[in-house]
Amino acid sequence: MPNLDHQSDLPPDRSHLSVNPANADDAAAKPLPRRRQLSNDQLAKGITAGDRAILGRAITLAESHKPQHQRQAEQLVTQLMPQTGNALRVGITGVPGVGKSTFIERLGVTLADDNHRVAVLAVDPSSSITGGSILGDKTRMAKLATHPNAFIRPSPSAGTLGGVAKKTRETLLLVEAAGYDIVLVETVGVGQSETVVAEMTDCFLALMLPNAGDELQGIKRGLLEVTDIIAVNKADADNITAAQHAAADLKRAMHVMPRKDNNWQVPVLTCSARTGDNLTEVWQTVTTRIHDLRNSGTLEKRRRKQALRWMWSLIEDQLLTTLKYDQHTQPLIQQMENEVTSGQRAPTAAARTVLDQFLHQHASPDNNS
Ligand code: GDP
């Protein structure tokens, strides 16, 4: 494995999910007061000191739906910003069953054995619907979960994809502040989740199945547009030839697909997460890609753009939510919806009417909202 040259009490409390069994003794020796809320200074101190339980609590804070918790988390992340940005941020996607957890487990253990500190996060849109998370689950990565250099956090389980992504982004910054130098963000290709993960990572790796024919049909254009590297997994035993054919087909497909970076020819590799074959090569390709981006100054620019887009998407989400639930605008929204659906009013005029009233309401110094 190549060595890289870079170096409260909150309902629902999910911090137990991230307490690494390897550190269970620490947690038992120093039980955290369940009902006492920690200040941001205490949280920041614990996080930078590598206190895993405190990191878990900070993430729980960021995942909370209570506005005061969210504000506290935002301030905490701001406080920790100087300690962030030092990790390799790698997105990993693939359909269920492609071998993501096997891949992350094996790769993660190798990296953690190599003295890297590895965090695994997940963006799982299905968890928004089911309330449960299938990704980043410790039981799927039993060895990595018990490794003292690893930290696994399942996907936040409620909210929209945008909400899940916001929380995962904050978690990413928190784990960076805690000194994790490799962050793997896992996702399944549901909805826009790949784009969302590509927007928070430096390099996006797509794992594919060896049965190319069907697979090629199913590949979404959106996925290939954000992919940096493709690895056809399960290239072992009877699957080797099929995997090689799949890789050749994918290489051809990549020539005609629009990509996120015209200067980059997406490498297509084969590997086996089960046997470990070629995993080193896949990881080396990932690190080379990130180092090239860093050396050319592109990484810095890309991260700045990502941060700005994140800010704007939060503003858009928040504005829209405020507008939709603004009690003074509600009756007008209802009226406009009725008039638009009955064909009495043009959508353009209705939109303007709603916006005018909302902006007037919020611009006025004596508004009572
Ligand atoms: P995920 O749903 O993408 O996380 O996939 P898993 O890692 O849970 O793997 C799904 C199944 O594929 C499991 O039975 C794994 O043992 C198997 N699997 C994963 N990687 C490989 C591989 O490289 N080769 C083979 N033959 N099987 C694999």
Between the ranges 8-12, 65-69, 256-260, where is the mean pLDDT highest?
Answer: 65-69
Q: How far is the CA of 299 from the centre of ligand 1 (A)?
A: 32
From atom 17 of ligand 1, which residue's Cα is the shortest distance away?
Answer: 99
How many other CB atoms sit within 10 Å of the CB of residue 130? 10
Percent of the chain with pLDDT over 70: 81
**What is the C-alpha separation between 199 and 27, in angstroms, rounded?**
34
- Each residue of 155-181: pLDDT tens digit? 776 667 777 888 899 999 999 999 999
From atom 19 of ligand 1, which residue's Cα is the shortest distance away?
Answer: 99
| CA Rg value for the chain | 23
Helix (H, G, I), strand (E, B) or coil at 238: helix
Mean pLDDT of 318-343: 93
The pTM for the full model equals 0.84
- Each residue of 207-234: pLDDT tens digit? 999 975 555 545 667 787 889 999 999 9
Q: Of 301, 219, 318, 275, give the one whose Cα is nearest residue 106.
A: 275
Q: How far is the CA of 102 from the centre of ligand 1 (A)?
A: 6
Q: Which atom of ligand 1 is nearest to the CA of 272?
A: 23
Contact 20, 151 (CB under 8 A): yes
Q: Taking each helix axis as running N to C, give the angle between helix 40-48 and helix 67-80, from 0 to 180 degrees, rounded to the nearest 10.
A: 50
Q: Which atom of ligand 1 is nearest to the CA of 239?
A: 26
Mean pLDDT of 236-252: 91
Distances in whole angstroms, Cα of residue 259 to Cα of each of 124, 228, 256: 24, 9, 9
From atom 18 of ligand 1, which residue's Cα is the shortest distance away?
Answer: 99
Q: Of 204, 205, 156, 202, give the one whose Cα is nearest residue 181.
A: 202
**What is the C-alpha separation between 173 and 162, in angstroms, rounded?**
17
If one residue of 102, 126, 236, 270 were mutated to test the ligand 1 pocket, choosing by the most ligand atoms within 8 A of its CB, it would be: 102
pLDDT class for 51, splitting at 50, 70, 90? Answer: very high
Q: How far is the CA of 57 from the centre of ligand 1 (A)?
A: 32
Amino acid type, 29? A
Q: How far is the CA of 315 from the centre of ligand 1 (A)?
A: 39
Write phi, then psi, for 145 (nearest 5 degrees): -60, -25
Mean pLDDT of 142-165: 84
Q: How far is the CA of 232 from the centre of ligand 1 (A)?
A: 12
Q: Is pLDDT of 191 > 50?
A: yes
pLDDT for res 104? 96
**What is the C-alpha separation between 176 and 83, in angstroms, rounded?**
7
CA atoms within 13 A on the CB side of 4: 26
Measure CA 103 to chain center: 17
Ligand 1 surroundings by CB, under 6 angstroms: 94, 96-102, 140, 233-234, 236, 272-274
Cα torsion 261, 249, 212, 273: sign = negative
Q: Is pLDDT of 249 > 60?
A: yes
Q: What is the DSSP letter of 134?
A: -
The residue that leads in pLDDT, 138 or 250, is 250
Angle of CA points 136, 189, 256, to nearest 5°: 135
Q: Which atom of ligand 1 is nearest to the CA of 102?
A: 7
Q: How far is the CA of 98 from the centre of ligand 1 (A)?
A: 6
**What is the C-alpha separation between 235 and 240, in angstroms, rounded?**
4
- Each residue of 282-303: pLDDT tens digit? 999 999 999 999 999 999 999 9
**First vs last Cα of the chain: how many Å apart?**
58
From atom 26 of ligand 1, which residue's Cα is the shortest distance away?
Answer: 234
Q: Which atom of ligand 1 is nearest to the CA of 95?
A: 3
